[in-house]
Amino acid sequence: MEPVPTDFWGVVVPSWLGAVASIAASTVAVIAFLNSLSAKGGVTEIGDALNREPSVRRGAIGGLAIGGAATGTDPPEPWAVERDRRVGIFRNTSGRSAVVSGIDVVGGVHAALDAQLPLEVPPTASFEVRLRRDLGGPAVRGVTLRWTDGDGRQASRIYYL
């Protein structure tokens, strides 16, 4: 049997170019995946830092307002947040009972509670919020918690999970 003549420029070169291009694309995909993992860790660190930042303060009308730096007369941060994969654990650290009246999440994220709202949370008690993110959803999962403190004042704050 005779060898079949091969068109070097019409068959061999395009085949080699396709092979080299697929190896390069795979390499770029692996590098992008590793960068996304490190970026996710950075987003987690930023969310933890924002959750520790005291942000609940007394407003001009006598209620609680969100934002700005805390001063010595502002109340302590009322909630401690812990993250366990897809579960956010909110612990009441205010020293007073609080009634959680609502939980809102950013688009692309779904939250579920085991209990029904309104939920009374005594001091040092906690409750869990289960989170599920849609494919292609936001990198930062923000949960807005609305509550009424022991004095009857309403407040809310965004926590990042």
Task: List pLDDT tens digits, range 14-72.
Answer: 899 999 999 999 999 998 888 777 666 666 676 766 766 665 544 433 444 444 444 44
Confirm whether 151 is domain-assigned: yes
Confirm whether 27 is domain-assigned: no
Q: Do 80 and 93 meet the contact criterion of CB atoms below 8 Å apart?
A: yes
Q: pTM for the whole thing?
A: 0.60
Confirm whether 148 is domain-assigned: yes
CATH number of the domain that residue 91 is part of: 2.60.40.10
Supply the pLDDT for residue 21.
Answer: 95
Please state the rounded mean pLDDT for residues 4-9.
Answer: 77
- Between CA 98 and CA 120 the distance in angstroms is 6
Contacts 24+ apart (CB under 8 A), 157-161: 157/55, 157/56, 157/66, 157/79, 158/66, 159/51, 159/79, 159/81, 159/88, 159/90, 160/46, 160/47, 160/48, 160/50, 160/51, 161/47, 161/81, 161/83, 161/88, 161/129, 161/131
pLDDT, tens digit (0-9, with 9 covering 90-100), for 148-160: 887 888 888 888 7
Confirm whether 86 is domain-assigned: yes
Domain count within the chain: 1
Confirm whether 46 is domain-assigned: no
Confirm whether 156 is domain-assigned: yes
Supply the pLDDT for residue 68.
Answer: 46
Supply the pLDDT for residue 157.
Answer: 86
Domain span including residue 92: 53-160
Confirm whether 9 is domain-assigned: no
- Between CA 137 and CA 139 the distance in angstroms is 7
Confirm whether 7 is domain-assigned: no
Supply the pLDDT for residue 25.
Answer: 95
pLDDT, tens digit (0-9, with 9 covering 90-100), for 83-134: 777 788 899 988 888 999 988 887 667 888 888 888 899 998 999 988 887 7
Task: Report whether the peptide linkage leading into residue 123 is cis, meaning its omega lies within 30 degrees of zero.
Answer: no
